[in-house]
Amino acid sequence: MDPYLALLPLTLGFFALGYAVQRLIIGPASHGDDGNILLITLGLAIIIANAMLAVFRSDTRSVDVAYAFSVVEVGGFFLSLPRLLAVAVVIAVALLLWLFLARSQTGAPVLRGVSLAVAEGEIITVLGANGLGKTTLNRTLSGLVRASSGTIRFLGERIDRLAPSDIVRRGLIHVPEGRRIFPNLTVRENLLLGAYARGRERRAATLDRVFATFPRLAERTRQLAGTLSGGEQQMLAIGRGLTAEPRLLVLDEPSLGLSPLLVEEMFGLIARIAADGLAVLLVEQNVVQSLALAARAYVLENGTVVMEGPAGALAADPALASADLGL
């Protein structure tokens, strides 16, 4: 087969391969940064191009020999024409892949024009129904999702282009929805992992404070986390966040899946945590309890803040009943 003709199916194969690589490798490795995505994709393209040339050379019976060994002079250097063509095609495919996937894979923006602030020692709540942008907001704050525009500042420093690990080291700690504990590790091991990136030197004292806040965890330090009850697992998730010595603790749906009695207990524990001066961003569907606990509130609807103000004032506002809160 002539290499020119071979490039067509190879290009389609590269696109399919590139799509899989982008979803499984490039996105996680680059932390969503477009520049990193471009560099990684181009590096992979060069590797694929050289592999393709090796395949051509391995069976010269299917290749025009004169073409395969033809060279061109570039700046005094003699380069293989098949190698140049292979690199050019794959880089072009990589660039198209980057533009198509890295820029548009998320579709329409989930959040639009969201502006909020949390002061030191303040509890802020963000309310809204499921699927309207609350979890995306949390993931954007913690660097798991890259904002396409706007800025995020924490303690006076811009963090919207930092990797999630760097954001954690600065003290912004995200306790995700669904607890996300390590079920096959003990309670103590889960808590120690929270102090891995931040607060490692003071983890003994931090553990004591966590056990003082959650006495039930102190009774179960050697128990596998997966055998805890739902409420205990949520306590463990929050406790793990506290071992990182947060300056801002972002709690995503901490009452989700808990019984009414445990919900009451969970909100009481959050109040105790905040009483120590910790800033808390509470993202919840539980409107009544959240407004009773928070100083200020934001209502998120279709990725936009539609109401904001003091929590008490919002609780008394008749317009709150018309907001889409999933009630």
* Residue 91 and residue 160 in one domain: no
Tell me the pLDDT of the chain averaged across its residues. Answer: 77
Kindly state whether residues 238 and 135 are assigned to the same domain.
Answer: yes
Stretch among 152-156, 198-202, 261-265, 289-293 having the lowest mean pLDDT: 198-202
Residue 291: the pLDDT is 92
Using pLDDT thresholds of 50, 70 and 90, give the confidence band for residue 105.
Answer: very low
Q: In the chain, which ranges are continuous DSSP H helix?
A: 3-21, 27-30, 34-58, 65-68, 81-97, 103-104, 134-141, 164-169, 187-194, 203-213, 215-218, 230-242, 260-275, 287-293, 311-315
Domain that holds residue 165: 123-322
What CATH number is attached to the domain comprising 188? 3.40.50.300
Last residue within a domain, chosen from 69, 104, 139: 104
Mean pLDDT of the region 238-254: 90
Q: Which residue has the higher pLDDT, 37 or 306?
A: 306
Residue 13 vs residue 248, higher pLDDT: 248
Q: Is residue 113 part of a domain?
A: no
Last residue of a domain, one of 104, 139, 169: 104
Amino acid at 321: A
Does pLDDT of 30 surpass 60? no
| Same domain, yes or no: 188 and 290 | yes
Task: Note whether residue 117 is domain-resident.
Answer: no
Shared-domain flag, residues 86 and 216: no
| Domain final position from 76, 104, 132 | 104
Pairwise pLDDT comparison (250 vs 9), residue with the higher score: 250
Whether the CB-CB separation of 276 and 86 falls below 8 Å is answered with no
As a whole number, mean pLDDT of residues 240-245 equals 90
